[in-house]
Amino acid sequence: MIAQHENEFLRDLRKMIQIPSVKGPAKEAMPFGEGPRQALNLALKFGQQYGFKTGMVDDAAAYVQWGNDDQNYVGIFGHLDVVPAGSHWSVPPFDLTKKNSRLYGRGILDNKGPSMASLFGMKLLKDMGIQLPYTIRLVFGSDEESGSADMRRYLANEAAPTLGFTPDGKYPAVYGERGIVNFIVRTPIPANQLSRFEILNPEEQSSDHVPDSVIASVGDQVIHAHGKRSPSNAPDLGCNALTILAQEIDTRQVLSDEIGVYFHWLANLHDDHYGKQLGIDFADVDSGKLIMTPYQLQKAGNNLELAIAVRYPVSVTEEQVISNVKQHLITQSKLKIVRSIPSVMHDKTSWWIRKLSQAYEQVTGLDGTPVTTTGATYARVVPNIIAFGPSFPGQKGIAHKQDEYMDEKDLLMNMEIDMRAMIALGQRKDDD
């Protein structure tokens, strides 16, 4: 069925990719801007065309439902908002381009492609005449990339799922997600020294990726630090231009006194992906090593402010992280937390997680032992769900970059895994 209807699926997917659903100014009935609302409307249109019950929830999320039980349902939560396209694409970012069996476009992986695969897969199951005793509801969000306010609005109006997953992480089944804390380190610098430093392209810095280009005026020089962009939760796949800049300033000794000391301290954070220099190199069996990413440097009054993102192991607390960091800062520096998301854990031996693992193994032939992740998904906000797909083992650092892609065979494999998961979860609620 997937092979027979692939062209139809790609036709509908292209329409979704073509919507630039980047968060914009709020308008009436558009809390996250025009683009995200257009994407929700298109999902509803597809759901109606495919013959399903549909609904819009507080203008923030849309659902397409197979079954009539609004209170007890298997939930699959994807999102249709995307990060900005950025520059240096070799193909149009807001279109679906196929080259050598690879599909390109903003959102093809994160998360329009997998979300549409779930929807189209559910359509194929219905068209095949399969009947499930339990309701399946696909929920499409519009603010995942900017804090998941969409899901808080959804849950204020709708029942939480009985169980389910979000196709917005990785395979196999993800039973735990690390804690996240982002903080700003504010360090006072004398005004006469701070005036000798200026970031010339601050718009290139963002919390979602490792900065790959930083241009700064330093004394009477202009320094362009070149790095390599990667997602902020996978800094080892990139190269941080901020810390490269600090190394250049430190090596050239173009700044002295307090600001020179500051850049020497920052230079020591280069390639310190696991937080050793800040005393937070924690690790545990379930999660592995803590991950740390400096992602933004800016001037604020007579201060330099460095923003750092940390993903910490499930056995560690935010308090432990912050306490240790404070002991490794430059004198008089202050720390302010700007993002705080505790870790989440599920019982990896529960029947429904076992069923997801089995669906994955049936399709791929790979080991389906559940894992944990550094990512942050709807599973942080929505009860009773875990991340499940779309990336396969070894596939990292693709989302949020130029030329975002997904291999055609992988996207179709996601569809088959989702279909098998819907059959398994939609047939039973617990063990025999």
192 phi and psi angles, rounded to 5 deg: -65, -25
Query: Can you list the alpha helix ranges (DSSP code H) found in 24-171?
Result: 34-49, 112-127, 149-157
- pLDDT of 231 over the 90 cut: no
- Burial class of 197 by CB neighbour count within 10 A (0 to 12, 13 to 18, 19+): buried
Range with the poorest average pLDDT among 112-116, 363-367, 425-429:
425-429
68 phi and psi angles, rounded to 5 deg: -115, 0
Q: Are 263 and 253 in contact (CB under 8 A)?
A: no
Band (pLDDT 50/70/90 cuts) for residue 374 is confident
Q: Note the pLDDT of residue 375.
A: 80
**Average pLDDT of the residues of the chain:** 96
| CA 162/CA 302 separation, integer angstroms | 52
Question: What percent of the chain is predicted at pLDDT more than 70?
Answer: 99
3-state DSSP assignment of residue 130? coil
Question: pTM for this structure?
Answer: 0.80
SS3 of 206-235: the string is: CCCECCCEEEEEECCEEEEEECECCECCCH
Q: Note the pLDDT of residue 429.
A: 55
| CA 144/CA 35 separation, integer angstroms | 14
- pLDDT of 428 over the 80 cut: no
The residue-averaged pLDDT of 178-187 equals: 96
| CA 213/CA 157 separation, integer angstroms | 43
Q: Note the pLDDT of residue 430.
A: 55
Domain assignments of the chain as residue spans, ordered by start: 6-177+345-427, 179-341
More confident residue, 210 or 231: 210
DSSP 198: E
Two domains, one topology: 6-177+345-427 and 179-341: no
Residues 6+ apart with CB under 8 A from 362: 420
The residue-averaged pLDDT of 3-25 equals: 98
Q: Which CATH class is domain 179-341?
A: alpha beta
The residues with which 166 forms a beta bridge, in sequence order, are: 387
Q: How many CA atoms lie within 13 A of 345 on its CB side?
A: 11
Q: Are strands 73-79 and 135-141 parallel, antiparallel or unpaired?
A: parallel
- The structure tokens listed for 228 are 């390599």
The residue-averaged pLDDT of 92-96 equals: 98
| CA 21/CA 370 separation, integer angstroms | 32
Q: Note the pLDDT of residue 419.
A: 98
| CA 385/CA 162 separation, integer angstroms | 8
3-state DSSP assignment of residue 17? helix
- pLDDT of 156 over the 50 cut: yes
Range with the poorest average pLDDT among 76-90, 141-155, 352-366, 394-408:
394-408
Length of the chain: 432
Q: Note the pLDDT of residue 432.
A: 39
Q: Residues 375-394: pLDDT tens digits? A: 889 999 999 999 999 999 99
Q: Are 345 and 175 in contact (CB under 8 A)?
A: yes
Query: Can you list the alpha helix ranges (DSSP code H) found in 96-174?
Result: 112-127, 149-157
SS3 content of the chain, % helix, strand, coil (to 5): 30, 30, 40
Q: Are 204 and 423 in contact (CB under 8 A)?
A: no
CATH superfamily assigned to domain 6-177+345-427 = Zn peptidases (3.40.630.10)
The residue-averaged pLDDT of 54-67 equals: 98
